[in-house]
Structures are given as structure tokens and as C-alpha cells.
Amino acid sequence: MELRKMLNIPDELFRNMTRYPGAPEPEENGSTFEENALIKARAARDFTGEWALADDSGLEVDLLNGEPGVQSARYAGIHGDDDANNAVLLEKLAAIPDGQRTAHFSCAIALVSPNGEEYVANGKCYGRILHVGRGN
């Protein structure tokens, strides 16, 4: 709940789905970050009957025609293994010079209301892929 903490919103007003026993884990089968954010927000709204906010995000490498894209978390075939995903990406870009390693991080945030109103915001952060991993 990074957003809740950043905005200093009380727990009572901004609840994580882990506080709802039996909540479904929707299949993120959209072809865009926006579609996946809406899938998750609609599922949360349908389960709770309340306003719901969800996001989807990932890395898009220009030279790879937007890969890994919506498959960012599963790029190496293992959901959530960031080290493996990074290794696959670095291997694909190994022979690519610095000037051609441009990429951007994309994020879509969807807000849906109990009566069906839907709002989506998209953002991108541009940069380049280094030759070795950095950070954690």
C-alpha cells in the first residue's frame, strides 16, 4: 500500500484486498497495463461493492518492440522472480550499444466506482537499460 502511505491516508479509508478473506485473485490476461489495472479494480469492486483502485506496470524496451511489457513479472517464465527476469533481459541486450538501450517504465492506475464509473491514469518514466544490474 505504497500509495496509502505516501498520501498519509488512514487504513479505514484505504484497505488492501488482503483484508478481505476469500477475495479472488483475478487473472491478469489483458494485453495492456490499462486493461490489467481495470481487470484488478473491477474484481475488487465486484467483491467488495466499494470503490476500488488497482494498478499494473512494467518495463518496455524500445529495441525489443515493448518487451517485456505486460509480461514483465513473468519474463523469465517465473512470476515474481526479478533476478531471473533481469537476467533474461540483460542477455537479450548484451550486444546492444548504450545508445540503443532506451526503455520506459509504464504504469496504469484504474479507479472504479460501485456504480460502474471508471477512471484510468497512465504514466511513463523514460531511461535506458544498463549493462549490469544495479539496486535492489
Q: How confident is the model at residue 1 (pLDDT cuts 50, 70, 90)?
A: low
Residue 121 reports pLDDT greater than 80: yes
Is residue 135 in some structural domain? no
pLDDT digits (tens, 9 = 90+) for 29-88: 999 999 999 999 999 999 999 999 999 999 999 999 999 999 999 999 877 788 999 999
Domain region containing 19: 2-128
Cα separation, 68 vs 56, whole angstroms: 13
With H, G, I as helix, E, B as strand and everything else as coil, classify residue 50. Answer: coil
Percent of the chain exceeding pLDDT 70 equals 96
φ and ψ at residue 75, rounded to 5 degrees: -60, -35
Spatial CA neighbour of 33 closest among 105, 90, 129, 87: 105
Catalytic residues: 56
Q: Which residue has the cell 490489467?
A: 36
Is residue 61 in some structural domain? yes
Is residue 43 in some structural domain? yes
Is residue 134 in some structural domain? no
Q: How confident is the model at residue 6 (pLDDT cuts 50, 70, 90)?
A: confident
What's the number of domains the chain is made of? Answer: 1
The more confidently predicted of residues 97 and 4 is 97
Which CATH number is 16's domain given? 3.90.950.10
Q: How many CB atoms lie within 10 A of CB 108?
A: 22
CA distances for 123 relative to 26, 58, 89, 114, 126, angstroms: 23, 11, 22, 25, 10
What would the grid cell of residue 92 be?
Answer: 537479450
Is residue 21 in some structural domain? yes
Residue 3 reports pLDDT greater than 80: no
Is residue 113 in some structural domain? yes
Q: How confident is the model at residue 11 (pLDDT cuts 50, 70, 90)?
A: confident
